[in-house]
Amino acid sequence: MKKFLNNLYKVKKGDTLESIAQKYMISSMNILLQNNVTPKMIKEGLILYIAKDSN
């Protein structure tokens, strides 16, 4: 459970999908697929699950 909680990210004001992806060094598509969201849904307060690419 602790590992899962460490992979959560709360979107902050000014964040974009690209900036979040860059911060965690993963693809923006990966974030969208992992969270079943669209780019328009990335808004302040949204909690995203972030798991690194398995490469």
9-30 confidence digits (pLDDT tens): 999 999 999 999 999 999 999 9
Residue in 48, 43, 15 with CA at minimum distance from that of residue 33: 48
Strands 8-10 and 47-49: antiparallel
- Structurally, how many domains does the chain consist of? 1
What's the domain range around 37? 2-49
Tell me whether residue 10 is in a domain: yes
Tell me whether residue 54 is in a domain: no
Percent of the chain with pLDDT over 90: 78
Tell me whether residue 41 is in a domain: yes
Q: What is the rounded CA–CA span in Å between residue 44 and residue 12? A: 5
Tell me whether residue 55 is in a domain: no
The domain that contains 7 carries what CATH number?
A: 3.10.350.10
- pTM listed for this prediction: 0.82
Tell me whether residue 39 is in a domain: yes
